[in-house]
Structure formats: C-alpha cells, structure tokens
Structure 1
Amino acid sequence: MSKTKIKTQTKWNIKGIENWGWKKHPLGATIPEAGNAADYKTGGWRSNRPIWDEEKCTNCLICWINCPDSSIRVKDEKWDSFDYDHCKGCGICANVCPTKAITMVEEGGEK
C-alpha cells in the first residue's frame, strides 16, 4: 500500500482580510452547492426563517460567506434569494449582517 503525502498549507496570508470582499474569500471545507443531493431537502424542520430587506442591503454578501448551508443565492454579484429548501434557520446570516438587512421570523410568519 503506497502512502500519499497530503499537501497542507500551514501559513495563511490573511493580510487585509477585512477588505477582501466576498469574491476573494475561499469557500473552505464546504460543499459548494446547497445540500448534497437535489432531492435531499433539509429546510422542512426549521422553526425560524430569514427575511431580506432590500432597502437595508448593501450587497456586501457577508451573509453568503457565512451561511453554513449555501442557502443564499447570488446572481450578477448581488443577493438574489434564499434557498428555503436547504436553509435550516440557524440565523447566522442575520447575526453577521452589518446593516441588519436580514431578520429572522417564526416559520409561517411574515412573507
């Protein structure tokens, strides 16, 4: 059995990370698409869901960077929609939004 040496990056160059913007941030150890199968919808059990306020949004996309389920859709480099089939309602997007453009509401509440 041959041993394969795994190449690892031991030092990260994060100088100026606060100014990177959403495009430069790597996805890291995530599955780059919501869910891991088209039919495996995981959002049906959430008790809260995010609501987006277009007037408050600056399209910094910090929500997209931080969403653990890739449930924020981006189109033409702007926020587009939530993927409610895979959103679990964790609220991370609302917590990291600097302009409070995302709020969490009880499932079945405000549309």
Structure 2
Amino acid sequence: MEKQQNMPTNTPAKRRVLGPCSHILVAANTGSWRMERPQVDEEACIRCGICSKYCPTACITVNKEGCPLEFDWHYCKGCGICANECPRQALSMIPEGSGE
C-alpha cells in the first residue's frame, strides 16, 4: 500500500488523494467512465463551493466573481455527489452525450 501512495502522477497539484486506490484512479483519465454529467443552473447557483468540497476527485472549480462553475471533464466520474449536496439544487445530472 505504501508503494501505491508514493507513485508519481501527472495530475495537477490541487487533486486530493483520499486513499491508495483513489491515488491510482486520479492518475488516469477516468472521465470516460461517466454515464451522467452535472449541469449547472446558473440562475440558481450562488457559488457557495459546497459542490467543490464534496467532489471526491476535486474536479470542480468555483469562481466567486460570477463566472460559471468549471468542471475538469477528464476526471469527473458522474457520481452525482455534487448535485446531491447542492443546497440550492442548482446542479442536476443529465445523460452523457446529450445536447443539453
């Protein structure tokens, strides 16, 4: 297990590693697993950052200046935790590949 934790990765420094298995998963482009993706309702979003805090792969960036949320689609797994934790229900999960 120690060997896995010390493996170098090509990921940005902002990535949180939550355990030995997640360290390996974060190292790969795992966005291709996604069946659904989050969609933001910009009018409802207050940019509180709760979605970013709960994201297990830290792939959500919240800009307080009124810019839309930014997702790193290479690492978003479509787990829906962000949509579940949003206090304003500003995130919803839509099927991957939909034109919305």
Bin for the TM-score computed over the shorter chain:
0.5 to 0.7
Q: Which residue is equivalent to 2:34?
A: 46
Equivalent of 2:52, from 49, 55, 64? 64
Please list every run of 5 or more consecutive structure 1 residues that lacks an aligned counterpart in the other structure: 1-29
Pairs aligned (count): 78
Alignment of 1:1-111 (within 5 A): 30-31=16-17, 36-37=26-27, 40-76=28-64, 80-111=69-100
Structure index of larger Rg: 1
What is the TM-score when the length of structure 2 is the normalising length? 0.67
Q: CA deviation at 1:109?
A: 1.4
Please list every run of 5 or more consecutive structure 2 residues that lacks an aligned counterpart in the other structure: 1-15, 19-24
More helix by share: 2
CA deviations on 1:2-30 (whole Å, 9 max, x unpaired) are xxxxxxxxxxxxxxxxxxxxxxxxxxxx3
What is the TM-score when the length of structure 1 is the normalising length? 0.61
Q: Alignment RMSD, CA only?
A: 2.2
